[in-house]
Amino acid sequence: NAGVMQNPRHLVRRRGQEARLRCSPMKGHSHVYWYRQLPEEGLKFMVYLQKENIIDESGMPKERFSAEFPKEGPSILRIQQVVRGDSAAYFCASSPRAGLDYEQYFGPGTRLTVT
Amino acid sequence: AQTVTQSQPEMSVQEAETVTLSCTYDTSESDYYLFWYKQPPSRQMILVIRQEAYKQQNATENRFSVNFQKAAKSFSLKISDSQLGDAAMYFCAYRRATSGTYKYIFGTGTRLKVLA
């Protein structure tokens, strides 16, 4: 029973490039959450998606960041024109539903380094 | 807005001893969930224990137990018989129980060192 998969595990980008982070939820899970962990800090919520819908993007920076979760395939977190401040670990979590008893299962994270 | 505070950036405990990690939170909600997550150097987030706010009984999982004080908005984690493998970052997290968004709000973490 595979857990939440994220790739790549490590990603290095130069300033101004684009970063694409992928998240494959656990089998049977249709809800995905993205969190960002800056160095020496806790995880901060970015966005919550269901298949083909963004439910809550209150934690997403207004510019350069976007997320999608298509009907087929993984969820993608996209960062355009990366800057040094985007260097962080990005975690994806999934749950089967969005009800009260459905906790989130976390992936191993993608560590983005912007040089 | 809800907030979670972990006031101990770092704690140390001798192997086989007991240690308590503190967490306080602020919310106007009456129903919610609280969690403790462990993050070892691999960075994988591992659920240690969870507590439903409507339950008065403190949650326990083997060597891990919580002291949930709803009125004081306090949620501490006690680790008994500490082991070297317990060394990690520990994060306290809050989640609303009402419908809408189910995002977790995390504290800044406590780094636990276990001394042999």
For residue B97, pLDDT over 90 is answered with: no
User: How close does chain A come to B17, measured CA to CA in Å?
Assistant: 26
B101 touching chain A per CB within 8 A: yes
Which residues in chain B are closer than 8 Å to A56, comparing Cβ atoms? Answer: 100-101, 103
Phi then psi for residue A84, to 5 deg, are -55, -35
**pLDDT of B2 above 90:** no
Chain B residues lying within 8 Å of A111, measured CB to CB: 43
Residues in chain B with CB shorter than 8 Å from the CB of A100 are 33, 97
Q: What mean pLDDT do residues A38-46 have?
A: 90
Percent of chain B with pLDDT over 90: 79
B103, A41: Cβ pair inside 8 Å? no
**Contacts (Cβ under 8 Å, ≥6 apart) of A60:** A46, A47, A66, A67
- On the 0-12 / 13-18 / 19+ scale of CB atoms within 10 A, B1 is exposed
Residue range B56-75, pLDDT digits in tens: 899 999 999 999 999 999 99
Chain A interface disruption, residue of B104, B108, B111, most A CBs within 10 A:
B104
Cβ atoms B18, B27 nearer than 8 A: no
pLDDT of residue B113: 97
Cβ-defined contact of B106 to A102 (cutoff 8 Å) = no
Nearest CA in chain B to A40: B108
Question: What is the 3 state secondary structure string of chain A?
Answer: CCCCEEECCEEEECCCCCEEEEEECCCCCCEEEEEEECCCCCEEEEEEEECCEEEECCCCCCCCEEEECCCCCCEEEEECCCCHHHCEEEEEEEECCCCCCCCCEECCCEEEEEC
Percent of chain A with pLDDT over 90: 79
Q: What residues of A are in contact with residue B97 (Cβ under 8 Å)? A: 100
The yes-or-no verdict on residue B30 having pLDDT over 80 is yes
Mean pLDDT, residues A7-31 taken together: 95
pLDDT in tens, B102-115: 889 999 999 999 99
Buried b (16+ CB within 10 A) or exposed e, B6-36: beeeebebeeeeebebbbbbebeeeebbbbb
The answer to whether B70 and B53 have CB atoms below 8 angstroms apart is yes
Cβ of B106 within 8 Å of Cβ of A33? The answer is no
